A and B are shown apart, each in its own frame.
Chain A
Amino acid sequence: MSIILDHVSHIYEKDTEMAAFALRDVCLTIPDGQFIGLIGHTGSGKSTLVQHLNGLLVPTGGCIYFNGQDIHQEGYDKKELRSRVGLVFQYPEHQLFEVDVFSDVCFGPRNLGLSEKETQLRAFEALRQVGFPEEYFYQSPFDLSGGQKRRVAIAGVLAMKPEVLILDEPTAGLDPKGRDEILDQIAGLQKETGITVILVSHSMEDIARYVDRIIVMNRGSVLFDDSPKEVFRHGRELEEVGLAVPQVTYILRELKERGMAVRTDATTLEEAEREILQALGRG
C-alpha cells in the first residue's frame, strides 16, 4: 500500500507560449504510515505535487500509482481515490458552508453514499479526533474562532477515513498556541491510526519537530528527500532555494563558531538544550 510517482512531470498551459514546468521528472515513493514534511519556496511545485496525489491534476508526463494501480488508467474510480487521499487546502475554513458544524463534517461521508448512521458516526469520530468540543457541534461554523474553524474543515476530510492525509499549510494565520494544538492533534492522530500524513509547511521549526521525512521541492524537482537531520545539514543549499534551517540550528552554529564545543545538527529545542547542557558539562 503506497503512492508511487514515476517520472511525473506537469507543464501548465502546454503547447502555448506560456508553457511552464511546474513538476519536472519527479520520482517518489510514499509508503504507509509516514509523517512527511513537504517544503519548498512559494512556486516550487508543492501544491502542484499534492494535487497530483489525489488525481485533481493529471500529469503531462509519467504515471502515479496508488496501491499498485495507475490512477489515470481508464475506469479508475477517482471519487474513491479522493476519499482515500484526503487533501486539506490552505485556509480550508473558506470552504465551510453548512448551517452547523456537524452537518458540515457529514457532507463528505454522505457524498460517499454511506448510510446516515455511518455518516454521523464518522462525523462524530472525526470531530473527536481533531479535539473539537462537543458543546459546539450544532453551532454555525462561521461563529467559531480561526483555529476551531480549521479543525472543523480538517474533520470534514478525516470523516472520509482517508489513508493519506495531506495538509497544505494547516497552521497559516493561527496564533502560536493554536498552531501547536493543531499540529499536536495531527501528530497524535497519525500515531493512533497509522495513516500517512503529508504536511506542507513554511515553518522549518514545525517541520523539524514533527516529521520523520522531509521532501524538499525546488523549481518543480525534488532537491532533497531524507530525514530532518540529514536535510537540515544542507543549510547553504536550503537558503539558496529560499528556505532555511530551524532557528535552533542557526543558534548552535553561532555558538560553535564562537568556540563552544557543540555539535550543530540539533533541529529541535529539546535537542539543542541537551547539546548545550552537555557542552557545559551539565548533561
Chain B
Amino acid sequence: MGIIQASKLVFEYIRRDEEGNAEGITRAVDEVDLDVKQGEFVAILGHNGSGKSTLAKHINAILYPTEGVIRVDGMDTREEAHVWEIRQKAGMVFQNPDNQIIGQVVEEDVGFGPENMGIPTKEIWERVEESLKAVGMYEFRKHSPNKLSGGQKQRVSIAGVIAMHPRCIILDEPTAMLDPNGRREVIRAVRALNQVENVTILLITHYMEEVIYADRVIVMDRGKAVMQGTPREIFSQVDKLKELRLDVPQVTMLAHALKKKGVPLPDGILSAQELAKALGY
C-alpha cells in the first residue's frame, strides 16, 4: 500500500472581505487522487496559486480535506489521535527557513524534533550529528542560526526534519532562496535520502532541472492534477507546459528549438549527454 494515498481530495475555503463577510468559495484542491509508494521521488510542478502547497499541507495534517480522504501510512489525517504520528512520518520543509528555526544554537534546533518525540538524549545527539552531516552543516553546529545565511538556515531546517527519521519528506520550494551551490547541495542531500535511506520525497519546485531526478512528475493547475508522468514524458510537452506558466530544463528547450529548425531530435531530452548522443556525438 502507498505511503500517501488520497482519493477525490477537495479543499475549499471561504473568501472574506475586509469586514469578514463571506464573498465566495474557492476550491484550491479539486478532486485530486494521489498514490505515492514508499521510496518514490515525486515532483509537483504548478504555477503560483495552482494548489500545490495546499495539497502538500494535507499530507502532514496542517489542512484537512473538505471532501474526500487522505491517508498517510494508512492513517486518515482527520483522526486526531494520529496527528502527531503523521507529522513525524511525513516531515515538511518550507520555503522560508526563518519561519522554521527556533533554537538558539544550530544543534539544539535540529535536536528539537527528536527531543519532542521522547528520544533518549544519546540518540538525539547521534541523530543531530548525522542530520547535520547529511546537509553539510556539521561544522556550523555550535553557531547561532541568526548568524547564518538564508541558504545555510534552510539546510538546518532540512536537518531538523531528517532528525525525526520520517518516512516521507515534503519539501515546498526548498531551494527558492538558495544560490547555485546551495541548490545543488540541497538536491543532492534530498536524492541521497531517497536513494540510500529509501525516504519518500515529495518535492515542490519552480526549478525544472531539479525535477529530472524524480520518478514521477505531477503538474497542477487550478487545483487539479492535470499532467502526470515521468520527467521525460512531461518535458516532452514543451508547449503545454508553457501554457501552464511552467518551463522545461534549458537543455530540453534547446533541443526543442533545434528540432523546430529542422534538426532531427527526439522530444524530452533531459541532459547534455542525451543531446550529444542524439546529435551523433
Assuming the A-B contacts A244-B180, A255-B276, A269-B250, are A260 and B152 also in contact, with contact meaning beta carbons closer than 8 angstroms in the complex?
no
Distance, CA A125 to CA B245, complexed state (A) = 27
Among residues 241 to 283 in chain A, which have CB atoms less than 8 Å away from a CB atom of chain B?
242-244, 246-248, 250-251, 254-255, 258-260, 269, 272-273, 276-277, 280, 282
* A residues less than 8 Å from B262 (CB atoms): 282
Among residues 144 to 192 in chain B, which have CB atoms less than 8 Å away from a CB atom of chain A?
148-152, 173, 176-183
A-B contact count (CB 8 A): 123
Interface contact A175-B176, CB-CB below 8 Å: no
- With both chains docked as a complex, state the minimum distance between the C-beta of A201 and any C-beta of chain B, in angstroms: 10
Among residues 56 to 73 in chain A, which have CB atoms less than 8 Å away from a CB atom of chain B?
none
B: contact size bracket: 35 or more
- With both chains docked as a complex, state the minimum distance between the C-beta of A203 and any C-beta of chain B, in angstroms: 8
Assuming the A-B contacts A146-B49, A177-B246, A178-B245, are A242 and B258 also in contact, with contact meaning beta carbons closer than 8 angstroms in the complex?
no
Whether B117 sits at the interface, judged by CB under 8 Å, is no
Whether A188 sits at the interface, judged by CB under 8 Å, is no
Whether A174 sits at the interface, judged by CB under 8 Å, is yes
One of A38-46, A104-112, A151-159, A226-234 contacting the partner? A38-46
Whether B68 sits at the interface, judged by CB under 8 Å, is no
Q: Which of B15, B179, B246, B253 has the most CB of A within 10 A?
A: B179
A268's closest neighbor in chain B, by CB? B250
Assuming the A-B contacts A248-B250, A273-B258, are A174 and B180 also in contact, with contact meaning beta carbons closer than 8 angstroms in the complex?
no
* B residues less than 8 Å from A258 (CB atoms): 276, 281
Tell me how many residues of A have a C-beta within 8 Å of chain B.
45
Distance, CA A260 to CA B209, complexed state (A) = 24
* A residues less than 8 Å from B122 (CB atoms): none
Distance, CA A175 to CA B251, complexed state (A) = 19
Interface contact B263-A282, CB-CB below 8 Å: yes
Residue ranges of B at the interface with A (Cβ–Cβ < 8 Å)? 15, 18, 46-49, 95-96, 148-152, 173, 176-183, 206, 208-209, 242, 245-247, 249-251, 253-254, 257-258, 261-263, 272-273, 275-276, 279, 281
Given contacts A255-B276, A258-B276, A269-B250, 19 further A-B contacts (CB under 8 A): A42-B149, A42-B179, A42-B182, A99-B18, A169-B177, A172-B177, A173-B177, A175-B246, A178-B47, A202-B180, A242-B182, A246-B250, A247-B250, A251-B272, A260-B281, A269-B257, A273-B261, A277-B258, A277-B263
